[in-house]
A and B are shown apart, each in its own frame.
Chain A
Amino acid sequence: MLQGASAGLAAGGLYAVIAVCLTLMARLVRVVNFSQVAIGMFAAYLAVIFAEQHLPQWAATAAGVCVGAVVSGLIGWIIAQWLPEAGIGARSAVSVASLLLLVSLSFILFGSKPKTFKSLLPGPAFSMGNVVVTQVTVVMVALALAVAVGCHVLLTKSKIGTKLRALSERPTTAELLGVPAKGLSIAVWAGTGLISAAAVSIVAPTQTNDPISLSFIIVPASAAALLGGFRRLDLAVVGGLALGMLQGALAQFEQMSVLRYWVPFLIIVVFLLWAERKEVWDVAR
């Protein structure tokens, strides 16, 4: 059971990183990015292709991650260009179409079978009693914390963070005061694309890593982001890690595997119903 939870922690770290990215996107550029993990998946697969071209593993991964950032920035540009004033629903729908596009594009470019990823971080880091903790787990948990803290510091302490928060609170007012809305939103897209690409690249070797399984990590990740109401980074991290451990623990019991599939869904439903129990009416007047 503990071993299972520990094994789930690596996935939990990934959920947490993605949840942080989703939260940032929802807050700063008003979108729930359903293609967040698909972008990372696409980058990780590209890295495999690059590595097959005799590039060193680190260079291939870096190149893949950069392409991921560019792809993400491109989707961001499309939305900033044509849907600058649209609501979060319409903007998020575009990311659903992007998810579809990226997954099927990966089928074409990389095939639908799982790839042999060369692990960037092989082997265990340490063991406590009879629970083994892998390097990937350590790095992912650290990455999740680092990303969350880093983003928090960036948002609250830097000049660009102030501009981003201003933009998220009153986009029109910020623009009237000369804050470059379009450029900043594309930067947010590219930045979160970069982070999720890096995270997926680290975890992919340890997961079922066909394009679809990877892309639909978006489901537990958005469940984690919802725990923070798409606003709070700390709760998103906690939610991601907890969800990963819970799934890992449940995976130990063969007879509960179906329940494990439904855990993210049930968490989403229960949590949302509780969180929005008071909100009754749509937009004011």
Chain B
Amino acid sequence: MSELILDDVSVSRGSGPVVSGVSLVVKPGSLLTLVGPNGAGKTSLLESISGIVSTSKGNMSLDGVPLGKLSRIKRSRLGLVHVEQGRTVFPSLTVQENLELTAKSPTGVDEALELFPELQKRRSSASGLLSGGEQQMVVLARAFAARPKYLLIDEMSLGLAPVVFLRLLPIIRHIADSGVGILMVEQFAQLALKIADEAIVVTGGRVTYGGPAEPLMTDPALLHRAYLGMAEV
């Protein structure tokens, strides 16, 4: 029962469903990548898991506990951490303070900073002054310091140069290997798939591929078809 399970989940926003009938399972220690074009409903799906928006249909459970109408705080206490889109550091807080917010033990901050040694010397800088890449490192380290059981990551690469994103990917893999179940939404599909165990492709709010990440990697046409609806490319 120790899994994050979504069963036939739909999410509606204003005009109608943006996600319909998505089922997926995130296992501890594994990395599931969710790819799909803009407007496919990926962000809404993550937001429904962490409780920012409510689902219109379907069930979700975390290690056997139904998430139902639980508040965001209660979900976070169950061990769910959601890294939102954009660089969500608290800009006036220093790197140290950002991490202290979530650190579970006095050594938590140091352990989290081991992921990114380059942040060590910027510990007491206001995080708003860091570069985009460094900010995302703070966000990842902060999430790690919370000792999550499950981690939702939304568009880590947004506005980052691919080179910078490449620096983050192994760390995400490392966090998964430490026993965290990760659900990662990414529009840079090709890069994200490299570290994924499994993949789901969502187009127009529906799952159009679900399974191992490998085939999507080795057969780009498959990805393009599922992803962009461009059979002829």
Contact = CB atoms under 8 A, between A and B. Distances in A.
B73 interface: yes
A10 to B, nearest CB: 34
14 contacts: A162-B93, A162-B101, A165-B90, A165-B93, A165-B97, A170-B90, A173-B90, A175-B76, A176-B72, A176-B81, A176-B84, A177-B142, A177-B146, A181-B73
B149 interface: no
Contacts of B101: 162-163, 166, 174, 177, 179
Interface residues of B, number: 21
A255 B146 CA distance: 65
A177 B92 contact: no
* Shortest 5 CB-CB contacts between residues of A and residues of B: A178-B76, A166-B90, A173-B88, A169-B90, A175-B72
Interface of A is mostly: helix
Given A172-B84, A173-B90, A180-B73, A162 B100 contact: yes
A159 interface: yes
A181 B98 CA distance: 16
A97 to B, nearest CB: 27
B174 interface: no
A231 to B, nearest CB: 11
A177 B52 contact: no
Contacts of A172: 52, 72, 84
B210 interface: no
A162 B92 contact: no
A56 B23 CA distance: 67
A165 B50 CA distance: 22
Contacts of B88: 170, 173
A179 B146 CA distance: 12
B135 to A, nearest CB: 12
Interface residues of A, number: 17
Contacts of B58: none
Contacts of B73: 175, 178-181
Given A173-B84, A176-B50, A179-B101, A166 B76 contact: no
B81 A177 contact: yes
B190 to A, nearest CB: 28
Nearest to A176: B82
B76 A165 contact: no
Contact of A169 (B50, B81, B92, B142): B92
B102 interface: yes
Nearest to B77: A178
Interface string A148-178: 0000000000010011011001101111111
Interface string B69-102: 0001100110001101000101111000110111
B51 to A, nearest CB: 8
B93 A177 contact: no
Contacts of A165: 90, 92-93, 97
Contacts of A181: 73
B85 to A, nearest CB: 11
Contacts of B84: 172-173, 176
Interface string B136-149: 00000010001000
Interface string B95-118: 001101110000000000000000
B104 to A, nearest CB: 10
